[in-house]
Amino acid sequence: MIVLFTDFGLDAPYIGQMQAAIHRDAPGVPVVNLTANAPTFDARASAYLLAAYAPAFPADAVFLCVVDPGVGGERAPIVVFDRRKCFVGPDNGLLAVVAKRSTHSEAQVITWRPTQLSASFHGRDLFAPVAARLSRGDPVTTEPLRREALQGWDWPDDLAQIIYVDGFGNAMTGLRAASLAPGARLQVGGTRLERARTFSDVARGEAFWYENANGLAEIAVNQGRADRQLGLEIGDPVTVEA
């Protein structure tokens, strides 16, 4: 399958245009829209979100990843291979965390170009056709790129910040819960939060943090909105207290 991961939103035609390009070049290959609401223009926050969700997908999935505020600029188009999974997107840090967390990953610069390439929509014109070719097992011309040369390679293994706020107001951090002590507290926006197993373990309206279904430390309010109650936004720092 081809998995879409973008910051395009669903109220614009861009996802449909990319899907049309995929169906043109790889008819019959299933397309899954993982999210069109990755943190807007924020490749760093998006990188940790992508790395948390990618492991649940089949081993031969091709990820088409576009959070690309530098489109048309000097950043290179790349593909990261992690065993049989492929990640296609810009070299702006978006694919760096996926690459770092795997001992088997390798990176390549995409040198193939379509006959028509717009300056501002590489998702449709470049990345979608490349993802389609990779999903069919067809070759794409590339050049080797050292993993250590990837943009974002120097970012931390876990990011102590809010990286995503979902439609319920829950705030995901870039911290993997497994890296935190069982009794760790999180402090954000002047509020100290205790750990709970799930929403029903705390009183209605109470704020807490928990390990979400994808392994990230997430801040929530039982039957409420953590973003509004605690004043949280993407990029807010999170402090870990033992």
Per-residue pLDDT of 187-206, as tens digits, reads 998 999 999 999 999 999 99
* Residue 112 belongs to some domain of the structure: yes
List phi, psi (to 5°) of 15. -60, -45
CATH no. for residue 186?
Answer: 2.40.30.90
pLDDT in tens, 216-227: 999 999 999 999
Pairing between strand 31-35 and 2-6? parallel
- Is 176 a domain residue? yes
Range of the structural domain that residue 31 is part of = 2-149
Task: Work out how many domains the chain is built from and give that number.
Answer: 2
Residues 97, 51: contact at Cβ < 8 Å?
A: yes
Q: Domain check: are 125 and 168 in the same one?
A: no
For residue 221, being part of any structural domain is answered with yes
* DSSP notation for 53-76: HGGGS-TT-EEEEE--TTTTSSPP
Q: In whole angstroms, give the CA distance from residue 222 to residue 238.
A: 20
- SS3 category, 99: helix
Q: Chunked in runs of 10, what are the mean pLDDT values of the chain (242 residues)?
A: 97 96 97 97 98 96 98 97 95 98 95 96 98 96 97 98 98 97 94 97 98 98 97 97 87
Residue 210: name the closest of 184, 237, 239 by CA: 184
Cα dihedral across residues 12, 111, 55, 51: positive or negative: negative
Same-domain pairing of 105 and 175: no
